[in-house]
């Protein structure tokens, strides 16, 4: 049995702070609008640039953006940041992503890891056809999209007689402006941990400007025992990274050396070394932060509480 890669795409859609202030005119013409069970979906195009948004409020950040003339270009910072998991598991063979959006992350993982099996879970059945039609996303026998709630998908996988284990998990499932609370709790992350291979890695895309960031971080620490943070430079995104028990937590210099080696082997279209340099090893969550649980997840309240001192890039 091949070795799994778990990319829990904690966001098929990610948000970027500098894009949230733009007006629709900056995104070009509206070429698709659709009311789905979960969102009002907007697709805009200006030249070769296509943009995906959810919801009617302009303050909500964009979810995905591609350049159809150059699909290798990462238009949003979070999609590059999500590749930080490869610094811990450079040879993922099975990947799980929660959230599809425009499909940038699984599409690019397929390019750099053609041998990997990639499972993508997207709760909104309206999203996969949009990703295929407008954003250059395509499935193949080893890159499949499952239309289902991410947590239920993992539960079902764990109940299989031969449950797969993933090497890389990227959690990137946003419902517009943030992550559904049931994909943030200790109980959920315990299920994620059970689906992770011993030498696998989980990457969660989050925002760092409020106390919810600290609560999410505290939850990862409680479940996995360790968690490192990569900070965005041009956005409010950060990546929480936890590993399986067989992975030794590396020092910053070691990650940079790994990034150089992997950059040479895989020829990424962006600088993996720059991503490695965004690790903040001295950063710690607020001492008062408590783990989120199924019966205690005050997400909205925590999002409204700004950090006294936002973590510096």
Active site residue 172: yes
Active-site residue, selected from the candidate residues 119, 124, 167, 172: 172
Task: Output DSSP code: residue 2.
Answer: P
Q: Is the dihedral of CA 21, 78, 114, 125 positive or negative?
A: negative
| Contact (CB, 8 A) for 206 and 213 | yes
176 Rama sector, left if φ>0, alpha if ψ -120 to 50, beta otherwise:
left
Burial environment of residue 267 by CB neighbours within 10 A (0 to 12, 13 to 18, 19 or more): exposed
Using DSSP's 3-state secondary structure scheme, residue 264 falls into helix
Q: What is the DSSP string of 77-135?
A: HHHHHGGGGGGT-SS-SEEEEE--TT-HHHHHHHHH-TT-EEEEEES-TTHHHHHHHHS
How far is Cα 271 from Cα 268, in angstroms, rounded to an integer?
Answer: 7
Give CA torsion, residues 215, 221, 222, 223, to 10 deg: 110
Residues 211-238 as b/e (b if ≥16 CB within 10 A, e otherwise) read bbbbbbbbbbbbbbeebbbbbbeebbbb
How far is Cα 115 from Cα 104, in angstroms, rounded to an integer?
Answer: 18
Q: Catalytic residue positions?
A: 172
């Amino acid at each position: 049995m091949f070795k799994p890669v778990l990319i829990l795409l904690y966001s098929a859609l990610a948000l970027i702070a500098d894009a949230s202030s733009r007006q629709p005119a900056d995104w070009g013409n509206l070429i698709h609008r659709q009311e789905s069970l979960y969102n009002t979906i907007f697709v805009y195009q200006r030249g070769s640039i296509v943009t995906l948004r959810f919801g009617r409020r302009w303050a909500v950040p964009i979810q995905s953006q591609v350049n159809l003339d150059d699909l290798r270009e990462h238009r949003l910072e979070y999609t590059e940041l999500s590749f930080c998991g490869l610094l811990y598991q450079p040879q993922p063979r099975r990947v799980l992503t929660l959230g599809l959006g425009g499909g940038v992350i699984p599409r690019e993982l397929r390019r750099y890891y053609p041998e990997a099996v990639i499972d993508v879970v997207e709760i909104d059945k309206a999203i996969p056809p949009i990703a295929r039609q407008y954003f250059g996303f395509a499935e193949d026998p080893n890159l499949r999209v499952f239309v289902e709630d991410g947590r239920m998908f993992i539960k079902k996988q764990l109940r299989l007689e031969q449950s797969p284990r993933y090497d890389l998990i990227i959690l990137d499932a946003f419902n517009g402006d943030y992550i559904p609370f049931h994909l943030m709790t200790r109980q959920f992350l315990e299920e994620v941990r059970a689906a992770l291979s011993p030498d696998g890695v989980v990457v969660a895309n989050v925002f760092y400007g409020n106390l919810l960031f600290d609560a999410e971080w505290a939850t990862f620490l409680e479940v996995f025992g360790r968690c490192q943070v990569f900070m965005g430079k041009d956005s409010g995104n950060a990546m929480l990274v936890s590993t399986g028990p067989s992975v030794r937590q590396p020092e910053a210099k070691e990650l940079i050396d790994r990034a150089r080696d992997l950059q040479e082997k895989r020829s990424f279209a962006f600088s993996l070394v720059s991503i490695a340099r965004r690790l903040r090893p001295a950063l710690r969550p607020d001492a008062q932060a408590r783990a989120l649980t199924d019966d205690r997840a005050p997400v909205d309240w925590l999002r409204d509480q700004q950090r006294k001192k936002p973590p510096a890039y």
